[in-house]
Structure 1
Amino acid sequence: MPAPGWFPRALATEPEHRDVEVDGARIHYRVWGEPGRPGLVLVHGGAAHSGWWDHVAPLLATHRVVAPDLSGHGDSDWRPAYDMARWAREVLAVAGAEQLTRPVVLGHSMGGWVALTIGVEHGDAVAGVAVIDSPLDRQPPEEQTLREQPRVHRVHPDLAAAVARFRTLPAQDVYLPDVREHVARGSLRAVEGGWTWKFDPGFFGTRPLVRQLLPRLAAPAALFRCEQGLVTPEMAAEMAALVPGGLPVVDLPEAGHHPMLDQPLALVTGVRTLLALWPPARPA
């Protein structure tokens, strides 16, 4: 079955690829849209990369959109250790390199922890932060999965074999096939003997709980809840009660934990709506 027409049209709007140095590491990022437009930063989840947004960012053309590869991911450098505060600084450094003034920061899963850390530690630097399916009382789900796996990537003999082995962390049942293939190919690098994954298998660590971050937010916040994801309606209500000034909750129908892979147009619609309504009033 051919890809739906919107998908190749979105990929035809190719990003510019740039780098910025943060705390001694080269941080790679993608950028779309006209300079001078309002800023939007898209932060991938654990074990992912900025290419997860390739088919999403071009559909958010009202904004100048940037998407970093956090250190230990994608085409950015690896570090001896990783923490949310440093990843937050990387995100803000990318925004600064593109002269984005008080952008909105949207983070998926583990990237939601990064977005919330920015909202807590650098609230004045952003117009707002939003998270996609980051649960209340768990460590980032990608990191929980990695703790149980070997610390060395398997090398696959050819690119097709590696793409066939692509799985998300955590796994989900539904992916759009063309989106999955595009994201999988961008997740791989050539090494001696074949192909392996780009991310550092040792990027995980102990993170603050979302429950601990929400009451400390110094910037407006919003939640995208995936109907087939990790955040239940009851959890979303509890999260909203923890946030000074409230927490708008956008439900993404039928979406799994990784909505850009199974319900990207629903995600785009939700983000477009949020951006049309923000910046909201700042919390007291």
Structure 2
Amino acid sequence: MFEIRTRPGRVLLQIAATILVIPYLFPLVVMVRGAFAGEGLENFAAVLQVPGFGRFFVNSMVIAAVVIALVYAVTMMAAFGFAKLHIRFREVWFWLLLACLTLPEVVLLAPLFATATRLGLYDTYWAVVLPLAALQVPFAVLLTRNFVKSLPDELFEAARLDGANSYRGFIHLVLPLTRPIAAAVIIFTLVAAWNNYLFPLVFLQSAELQTITLVPQFFVGQFSNDQTKILASAVITAIPEVIAYLSLQRLFERGLSAGAIK
């Protein structure tokens, strides 16, 4: 990562970054303005009054939390193995894992549906949690492996000299030192799990298991299409993600700038 020390250079960099961000902010501004159009705050009140809205919100929280826990655990162990352990054909396994990034969700729907039905997981949280976690692991490992690889080997050698095995090195060295990249993994996984629409729509049939991303369906019908309330539901859905990012922003930026992307 380059560093600009002069004040004029920093000002120019800030201006350039602001100009690059504007196209991404435009859809958000349009969404918020549309949510307040028409009846204003009544649009948000209508969304909150959707039958079962609280239950949908809790379902999304449960699914996102379990997905994050699974992705974090698997990613950290895989990244440690690919970066620091001497595993036979390590690079082959790593590139096979990255090949999974080429698989879109739509292509996997039919085999996932057949598997979930046969295993008795259909219409349960696990029918959504397991595919979501599996799809997030390859990208998370790609980010985390570079970060773990940048950790000094001398730390692990010193731990071995003190009698620590790989497990203790992982617990006492990798996990504490990878908190910045862990924040990035959590944010990316939260966004993917919280915003997912396809898997809950296909694998969750019971009304009490539906997620918050399906709330806009209540305002779309054969003879109605209330866009203001749809946009209001989108704004409400985005609030937890914004709060999570603001809470982990510093660690998130440190994780990406300290070796996650090279």
- TM-score range (shorter-chain normalised) is under 0.3
Structure with bigger gyration radius:
2
Structure with greater strand share of residues: 1
